[in-house]
Amino acid sequence: MHRFANPARFLRIANACFPWLAAVSGLSLAAGLWFALAASPADYQQGDTVRIMYIHVPSAWMGMFCYVALAVFGAMGLIWRHPLADLLGRATAPVGAAFTFLCLVTGSLWGRPMWGTWWVWDARLTSMLLLLFLYLGHMALSNAFDDRTRGDRAAAILALVGVVNVPVIKFSVDWWNTMHQPASVIKMGGPAIDRSMLVPLLLMALGFQTYYFVVLILRARAEIAGAKVESIRMAQVLGSGGEA
């Protein structure tokens, strides 16, 4: 049973935090939506399309955050062979992929009216598309082998190699000429965005961040239970009984 001692402790802490995370996520998303759709002003240049930002920007942040998390879990899995790190990586990849997908599609829906095009192959957009492919590659690799551990190893290496893409995404708007506007929140000298728009943006970001933790816990629970089922079955096949 010692193999799952740490996942058991993780489950205890995670299950204690779960209702609080779910409540914070639900409340901040509800408040964020109210501000984003009704109680915040239209932009003086972009009109009501600025409301797309309240989905687009938190999705982009989460797409990058989840990838960094994926790389950290990958490193932990490779260095310490910690089964929990592999489980958390498996649980994180689909969430990151979902957020990156949302970022790309909402960006496209924002680009059409404001830039006059759905898509341009510039640095920011292309590196974000690459991020989506890295997530899909991670999900495919981790399930590509009959032996789960081999899949986890391969996916962890991909996560670590691919993390170089994250600073490229972040600084692409400074390093290259691009259609995409530069950062206005996370930048030197503080946010260059009015409070009436910063508040809904941060509320949505908090809602997305806690949503990630909620989904992470649920998917980790599924992975942990699945791994236990597998080890019991394996033990029965080998005739030794008991959990590894």
Give me the residues that bind another protein (CB under 8 A), please: 33, 37-38, 42, 47-49, 51-52, 55-56, 59, 94-95, 98, 101-102, 105-106, 109-110, 112-113, 211, 214-215, 218-219, 221-223, 225-226, 228-229, 232-233, 236, 239-242
Residue nearer to another protein on the CB measure, 101 or 119: 101
In the numeric block, the tokens 């901040």 are attached to 28
Residue nearer to another protein on the CB measure, 168 or 235: 235
User: Which of 28, 54, 13, 31 minimizes the C-alpha distance to 185?
Assistant: 54
CB of 98 to another protein, least distance (A): 5
Residue nearer to another protein on the CB measure, 97 or 159: 97
User: Which of 212, 213, 223 minimizes the C-alpha distance to 63?
Assistant: 212
Residue nearer to another protein on the CB measure, 171 or 228: 228
Tokens of 21: 């995370």
CB of 42 to another protein, least distance (A): 6
CB of 24 to another protein, least distance (A): 15
Residue nearer to another protein on the CB measure, 161 or 229: 229
Residue nearer to another protein on the CB measure, 27 or 75: 27
Q: Contact 41/216 with Cβ under 8 angstroms?
A: no
CB of 146 to another protein, least distance (A): 19
CB of 230 to another protein, least distance (A): 10
Measured distance CA(244)–CA(241) in Å, rounded: 9
If residue 86 lies in a helix (H) or strand (E), which one and from where to where? helix 83-115
User: Which of 74, 107, 108 minimizes the C-alpha distance to 90?
Assistant: 74
Q: Contact 216/91 with Cβ under 8 angstroms?
A: yes
CB of 109 to another protein, least distance (A): 5
User: Which of 45, 43, 14, 54 minimizes the C-alpha distance to 207?
Assistant: 54
In the chain, beta strands by DSSP E: none
